[in-house]
Amino acid sequence: MSNQTPVLRIRGLTKHYGGVKALTEANFALAPGEHAAIVGDNGAGKSTFVRLITGVEQPNDGTICIDGKEVNFDSPLDARDQGIETVYQTLALAEDLDVPANIFLGREKVLVNLGPLSILNHKAMREESVNMLATTGVKIQDMSETLRGMSGGQRQCVAIARAAGFAKKMIILDEPTAALGIQETARVEEIIKGLKARGVPLIIISHNLRQVFDLADRIWVFRQGRIVASVLKKDSNPEQIVGLITGAVSPDNVPGATDLLTAISVFRET
Amino acid sequence: MKYLTRQEWYGALVAVLVLGVLLSIASPYFLNSRNLSNILVQASVVALLAGGQTFVILTGGVDLAVGALTALAGAMAGYMMVKLGIDPYLAILAAFAIGAGVGLFNGYLVAFVGIPSFIVTLGGLTLWRGLAFDATGGFDMSGMPEPFPFIGYGELFGLIPMPIVVMVLFYVSMSFVLSSTKLGRYVYAIGSNEMGARQVGINIRWYKLGVYVVSGLCCALAALVLIGRMDSSSGKMAQMFELDAIAAVILGGTSLFGGRGSIIGSLLGAILITMIRNGMNLLEISQFKQMMAIGAVVIIAVWIDVIRRKRLLRK
């Protein structure tokens, strides 16, 4: 990682709600093509972190850099325009619309631009949706069916394909399989592995350590509003991660766990 | 065929056909071109209101004030033309301005202030009708200048009554708006998943406001056709039309919960309601029983919608 400019680099990110310190001095980096997992107990600051880097909320302090350039997100749309696509747990899909309508929801292709009465280009959106789904490896039998008739796994796949199709820099997946069964989870994981093969950088928030070790290159551990450790999957194991999450294992006793955190801090001061 | 049965308006189409067959058997007067054309003419005003109502209901709201707003726009336009001698085309513009203005008012309160549409338009139901009476001194106006006799009783190519022409043109353009413009798409998106629509960056407040303006403009159009038909205007006009309009939308298969439905269904629903009325008239069923029948039909239609929704959620 040291000789590549990270896609995403975060220094000293801090968010306090009154006296509640939701996130303090978080340092983070995502290398090109890297898949990173964010783990931590409930209330450890994961959600706050994600809300800050997707523009849902604004930090009290700290900087966010994309490809080495500092950015500020005023809104989720802003973050999206600058290349960060997020798949929320709630998926942000309209069940009563079909697949192409959902993929292009909020950024429709138009034939004639007339403001709210802009005329939609159904054909172009359909064709591009077919391409996006094919690239991401998502199989949908009937594109004109509404999502209401589809399983949770299929919906999740549509949401991921949408994010992958539009992401200029990276994708953030918030608990992508939390509501899915075993088979559907496996399908979604295949799709994520496909993104890895294509070199799409990705951050996944997950409680499922089996999944984290299956999908991620690097694991970032959140604890009590701080990022306490960053370890490569190949140098770690699930017991160690559990220890870091609960505090049973001190990050100082894990070789290299704090290297990246301090390296970024040092970089900040220079 | 699968395409057909999958449509939300399929049930309404079947109902129209079945009722048509039953009425043809029950009454010798039903199945002739004069009566059928009459049904469409009578359906036109409710159909126009139902068209605007469809937009509102698809977003998960409801507009109870359409009858009152129709009365306001119509009474004001009539008053301007007959009492004040204002040019009819200016009066038509004024009617649309009133429709759009009240629509903006409703939409602002619903979308920006966050008052439930039910409350805003329930208040509007008496507010706008009261204003219609007050502004016109409570007097009826009659003897509308051209083009109103033409709108009410003219015939295109000496064949098709103008209210039917207006209704068809209206439905063709509205179904295009709903299926092929951003507004139409966002109406469905907001009704399906309002939070999600916001997350993908749709400015849901402005689009929600927009549907009430659409509904208001439809009220103005309906008012113009109605005063053409009656050759008069007053604050009393379009009494209880909101009930028929909402019933038409629901009978047409559009869900009261928003997100699901079609504008064609609302046209079929308006025709269905008018057919029920027409049939009961032909069979000499009393007005009182007719009132009961329409009310029952509305309840049954919503009942079917609730059952259908439960089934969809279980899937």
Give the model confidence (pLDDT) of A122-163 as tens digits.
999 999 999 999 888 888 888 888 898 888 888 988 999 999
**DSSP track, B134-168:** HHTTT--EE-PPTTHHHHHH-EETTTEEHHHHHHH
Which token pair is A138?
A: 């998502």
- Determine, yes or no, domain membership for B108: yes
Task: Give dist(CA A6, CA A34) in Å, integer.
Answer: 9
CATH number, domain A1-82+234-270: 3.40.50.300
Chain A residues lying within 8 Å of B197, measured CB to CB: 92, 94, 105-106
Do residues A231 and A256 make contact, with C-beta atoms less than 8 angstroms apart? yes
Enumerate the domain spans of chain A. 1-82+234-270, 92-177
Does some domain include residue B262? yes
Contact B247, B47 (CB under 8 A): no
**A-contacting residues of B 236-265, CB under 8 Å?**
259-260
B61, B117 in Cβ contact below 8 A? Answer: yes
Residues in chain B closer than 8 A to A116 (CB atoms): 181-183, 186, 206-207, 210
Which residue is it, tokens 């608990």?
Answer: A175
In a domain, B313, yes or no: no
Question: A167-187 pLDDT, tens per residue?
Answer: 888 999 998 888 888 888 998
CATH of the domain at B263: 1.10.3470
pLDDT given at position A204: 95
Which among A80, A110, A116 is the nearest to B210, CB-wise?
Answer: A116
d(Cα A252, Cα A258) in Å, to the nearest integer?
Answer: 7
Measure Cα distances from A44 to A224, A238, A257, B272 in Å.
5, 18, 18, 59
| pLDDT at residue B10, as a whole number | 84
B183/A117 CB distance under 8 A = yes
Identify the pLDDT of residue A268: 45
Residue B174 one-letter amino acid: M
Strands B141-142 and A61-66: unpaired
The predicted pLDDT at position A257 comes to 76
Query: How far away is chain B from the Cα of A80, in angstroms, using its nearest Cα?
Result: 9
pLDDT reported for residue A264:
63
Does some domain include residue B133? yes
Is B2 near chain A, with CB under 8 Å?
no
Using DSSP's 3-state secondary structure scheme, residue A32 falls into coil
Mean confidence (pLDDT) of chain A:
88
pLDDT, residue B122, reads 95
Range of the structural domain that residue B218 is part of: 33-308
Go through chain B and tell me how many residues it has. 315
Phi-psi region of B216 (alpha: psi -120 to 50; beta: other; left: phi over 0): alpha
Using the predicted structure, report yes or no on whether residue A269 has a pLDDT greater than 50: no
ipTM score of the complex? Answer: 0.86
Q: In whole angstroms, what is the distance from residue A62 CA to residue A12 CA?
A: 4
Q: How, if at all, do strands A119-120 and A110-112 pair?
A: antiparallel
pLDDT digits (tens, 9 = 90+) for A215-253: 999 999 999 999 998 999 888 889 999 999 998 888 887
Residue B2 is predicted with a pLDDT of: 65
**Domain membership flag for residue B168:** yes
pLDDT in tens, chain B (315 residues): 567 777 788 888 988 999 999 989 988 888 888 899 999 999 999 999 999 999 999 999 999 999 999 999 999 999 999 889 899 999 999 999 999 999 999 999 999 999 999 999 999 999 999 999 999 988 888 888 889 889 989 888 888 999 999 999 999 999 999 999 999 999 999 999 999 998 888 999 999 999 999 999 999 999 999 999 998 899 899 988 999 999 999 999 898 889 999 999 999 999 999 999 888 988 889 989 988 988 898 888 888 878 877 877 765
For residue B275, tell me if it sits in a domain.
yes
The answer to whether A187 and A179 are in contact (CB under 8 A) is no
Mean pLDDT (whole number) for A14-32: 90
pTM of the entire structure? 0.89
The 3 state secondary structure assigned to A186-229 is HHHHHHHHHHHHCCCCEEEECCCHHHHHHHCCEEEEEECCEEEE
Amino acid symbol at B36 = L
Would the CB atoms of A105 and B189 count as touching at under 8 Å? yes
- What pLDDT score does A261 carry? 74
The number of domains in chain B is: 1
pLDDT computed for residue A77 by the predictor: 86
* pLDDT tens track for A84-100: 999 988 888 999 999 99
Cα–Cα distance, A111 to A106 (Å, whole number): 15
Q: Give the model's pLDDT for residue A171.
A: 94
